[in-house]
């Protein structure tokens, strides 16, 4: 079974969304983990945004990438430029992928505008995750 690690800065939003969708689209054909170069806790808006789409990430925790240094990953996906720059060397055959998604946690404006930013990023990550699984997990 393929092992996928998704990395972002704080493992609170983007990597959590990606972990949820990658697991969903893989349908048990891959082990999916997410972590941050720091840990900020799972953002409640990320949980709510995924719940709107029928994906429950309420049981996810915010993990530091050091927790996974001994796992032989097949794929490491960075979902922000900061994580890509700070991504450690993984002594494995892991293929690295990168896509810099906007950080919805930095959204400003009214509550409705912030929720729309989370939804927009969710849809970008959903499409990316669907395509990633189609292309890399047989």
| Residues designated as active site | 8, 80, 87
DSSP 8-state code for residue 88? P
CB neighbours (10 Å) of residue 61? 10
In angstroms, the CA 48 to CA 46 distance is: 5
List the beta bridge partners of residue 76: 5, 96
Whole-Å CA distances, 23 to 46, 112, 117: 16, 28, 23
Q: Where are the alpha helices (DSSP H) in the chain?
A: 14-26, 44-52, 81-86, 111-136
């Amino acid at each position: 079974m393929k092992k996928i690690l998704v990395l972002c800065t704080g493992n609170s939003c983007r990597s959590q969304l990606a972990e949820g969708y990658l697991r969903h689209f893989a349908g048990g054909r891959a082990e999916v983990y997410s972590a941050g170069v720091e840990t900020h806790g799972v953002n409640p808006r990320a949980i709510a945004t995924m719940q709107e789409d029928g994906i429950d990430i309420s049981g996810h925790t915010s993990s530091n990438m050091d927790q996974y240094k001994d796992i032989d990953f097949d794929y490491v996906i960075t979902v922000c430029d900061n994580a890509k720059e700070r991504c450690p060397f993984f002594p494995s055959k892991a293929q690295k992928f990168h896509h810099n998604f906007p950080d919805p946690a930095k959204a400003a404006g009214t509550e409705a505008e912030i929720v729309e930013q989370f939804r927009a990023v969710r849809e970008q990550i959903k499409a990316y995750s669907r395509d990633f699984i189609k292309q890399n997990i047989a």
